[in-house]
Amino acid sequence: MASIIKKKKKNQVYYYLAESARVNGKPRIVRQKYLGRAEQIAAAMEGTAELDQPKFSIVLEFGAVMALYDLAKRLGVVDLINTVSPKRNQGLSIGDYMLIAAINRAVEPTSKHQIAEWFSKTSLDRVIPAKSSMLSSQRFWDNMNSLSEDAIRQFEDDFTRKIVQQYGLSLDCLIYDTTNFFTYVDTHSSSTLPQRGHSKEKRSDLKIVGLAMMVSPDFSVPLFHETYAGNDPDAKQFRSVIERLKQRCQTICETPLSPTLVFDKGNNSSDHMKKLQSGEMKFHVVGSLKLSQCKSLLEVSKEQFVPVTGTKYKGVTAYRTTYNVYDQDMTVLVVYNPELETGQLQGIRKKHRTMHGQTA
């Protein structure tokens, strides 16, 4: 129980906040805090009191790291990881290490060697009890090596299913694409994943790693990912991943579905189309055709094009028909976009001037 008491010292009255409790059955003051004289308390209540200047301050990263931590906690990320990859109850769990590394990557990417220093400058040390010695690069590598490929796939299955259900994501349409990113892996490394290939960031001097992803159109939520050797062509990767894309869709959705998969023309082939549209679960497809596959459609006059509805498609027209592609009749759209035409013409003219030694 708390109460305010006063004490008189040298004709001055001072006030204290006292907390009382029973000790051995008798009431005793167990804690008291000095409040000041009456005029000081009044000044504080009125906001006119002179405050002592702070001697030092500690600045911690709070907003982004705690927002991500809170989201991960609500989704049960750590528990899901620990379920598929448990270890002895000793220090931080594998899930804790993966969460710290993931938040670091999202907010301020550093090497594993520097994570301990970064961690100490964030509010995470208030919610994840980790000593600096627990966050050495070796501890991270030890725990990351404990995650097998099967465990990662199982976690991704469970986590993706939970996201789809919790946020009501539609699986009617899915987007698949690939990219790659360069690494600083030693040129003479025996690792089979980083390889010399066609870098989309124009870093032909470095080894690259390929990344395939399937995402939802709404908010681009990742639903599937796979890394692959940097020298593997995108089409080869697509052929090997089709069945796993189907399995992921069946795993995360309780009811049978036939989603539409959107992908670019680099993945076009008769074999791919057959695989996508065969088996228990079939994909509808949306993609683009190469010029060599539909030359006759370029002869369609612009008078046969009709306007595309929607304010963001101002000036866009399209011609719709049925066309035989990969030994089956498909719906084909030929689209005319005046803004795209303008941009492409600028590129053509610039290239023409460069080839003929002219300047803009």
> 16: which strand partners?
5, 34
Work out the number of other CB atoms within 10 angstroms of the CB of residue 169.
Answer: 18
Most confident of 15-29, 53-67, 166-180: 166-180
What the block records as the tokens of 70 is 């809170």
pLDDT of the residue at 49: 57
Residue ranges, CATH 3.30.420, the chain: 172-288
pLDDT of the residue at 256: 64
Over the Cα atoms of the chain, what is R_g? 32
Residue type, position 147, single letter: L
3-class secondary-structure state, position 251? helix
What are the angstrom distances between the C-alpha of 91 and each of 81, 98, 130, 209, 278?
16, 14, 8, 33, 49
Beta strand 328-336 pairing with 317-325: antiparallel
pLDDT of the residue at 358: 62
Q: How confident is the model at residue 52 (pLDDT cuts 50, 70, 90)?
A: low
Q: Name which of 8-12, 238-242, 286-290 the model is least confident about.
A: 8-12
Can you tell me the mean pLDDT for 278-300? 90
pLDDT digits (tens, 9 = 90+) for 204-263: 899 999 999 999 998 999 999 999 999 999 999 999 999 999 999 998 886 767 899 999
Those residues whose C-beta lies under 8 Å from the C-beta of residue 308, and which sit 6 or more positions away, are 316, 317, 318, 335
| Per-residue pLDDT at 51 exceeds 70 | no
Q: Pseudo-torsion of CA 154, 158, 164, 165, nearest 10°? A: 160
**For residues 139 and 132, what is the distance between their CA atoms, to the nearest angstrom?**
11
3-class secondary-structure state, position 91? coil
| Per-residue pLDDT at 360 exceeds 60 | no
User: Greater confidence, 236 or 355?
Assistant: 236
| Per-residue pLDDT at 350 exceeds 90 | no
**For residues 313 and 320, what is the distance between their CA atoms, to the nearest angstrom?**
16
pLDDT of the residue at 12: 86
**For residues 258 and 263, what is the distance between their CA atoms, to the nearest angstrom?**
16
Q: How confident is the model at residue 174 (pLDDT cuts 50, 70, 90)?
A: very high
172-288: CATH number: 3.30.420
Alpha-helical regions (H) of the chain: 38-46, 63-75, 77-84, 94-107, 115-120, 137-145, 149-167, 234-252, 270-276, 338-355
**For residues 63 and 123, what is the distance between their CA atoms, to the nearest angstrom?**
9
Q: Are 81 and 155 in contact (CB under 8 A)?
A: yes
Which helix (H) or strand (E) is 17 found in, with range? strand 12-23
Q: Which of 212, 138, 137 is nearest to 179 (CA)?
A: 212
Work out the number of other CB atoms within 10 angstroms of the CB of residue 133.
Answer: 9
**For residues 315 and 9, what is the distance between their CA atoms, to the nearest angstrom?**
87
pLDDT of the residue at 148: 92
CA 131-136-138 angle, 5° bins: 140
pLDDT of the residue at 327: 86
Instruction: Work out the percent of the chain whose per-residue pLDDT is above 70.
Output: 95
pLDDT of the residue at 15: 84
Q: The pTM is what? A: 0.75
Q: Are 104 and 65 in contact (CB under 8 A)?
A: no
**For residues 248 and 152, what is the distance between their CA atoms, to the nearest angstrom?**
13
Q: How many CA atoms lie within 13 A of 231 on its CB side?
A: 8
